Amino acid sequence: MSLKDRLVEDMKAAMKAKEEGKVRLSVIRMARAAIKNAEIDKKQEFNDNQVIEILARELKMRRDSIEEFSKANRMDLVSGLKEEVTILMEYLPQQLSEEEIRSLAKEIIAETGAQDIKDLGKVMGSITPRTKGRADGKLVNQIVRELLN
């Protein structure tokens, strides 16, 4: 079953769940709308990898919002966004741990022959495709910077 089909089936289940499924239903609808809009923009049907990119982008937006709302002391909004993040995570591949990212970064630094922070672009260019949808870009960048310093 493709990821888009899974979203449709989960949406149906959330609709049947009435009150208990309201947040899940709204998150799934939002995800499907984002996917549909991207497909219309690109004028093509998306495969699972492209759908994962869209979902990862939506997840990143929510994580950034959590950070901003926390700074503004809006815990009422933070709790709702955390619930949305949890739901979105179900549709993404297993996330890499910090240790896995660190070992991958060390491997790529060795492959590219990076010496210092000036080579950050070269390392990030190699590591980003390998971690796409499986790790937060900010975390990857932070670890690579740490290793290059």
| CATH 1.10.1510.10 domain span(s) along the chain | 3-89
Whole-Å CA distances, 124 to 6, 59, 98, 134: 32, 20, 16, 15
Q: Which residue has the tokens 């739901």?
A: 87
Task: Quote the CA–CA distance of 22 and 84 in Å, as a whole number.
Answer: 11
pLDDT at 132: 81
Mention every residue, 6+ apart, whose C-beta is less than 8 A from residue 74.
Answer: none
| Choices 1.10.10.60, 3.40.640.10, 3.40.630.30, 1.10.1510.10: CATH for 3-89 | 1.10.1510.10
SS3 content of the chain, % helix, strand, coil (to 5): 80, 0, 20
| Choices 1.20.1250.20, 3.50.50.60, 3.40.50.300, 1.10.10.410: CATH for 98-148 | 1.10.10.410
| CATH 1.10.10.410 domain span(s) along the chain | 98-148
Q: Which residue has the tokens 């926390």?
A: 70
pLDDT in tens, the chain (149 residues): 889 999 999 999 999 888 777 899 999 999 999 999 999 999 999 998 899 989 989 998 999 999 999 999 998 899 999 999 999 999 988 888 899 999 999 999 888 888 888 888 888 999 988 888 788 888 899 999 988 88
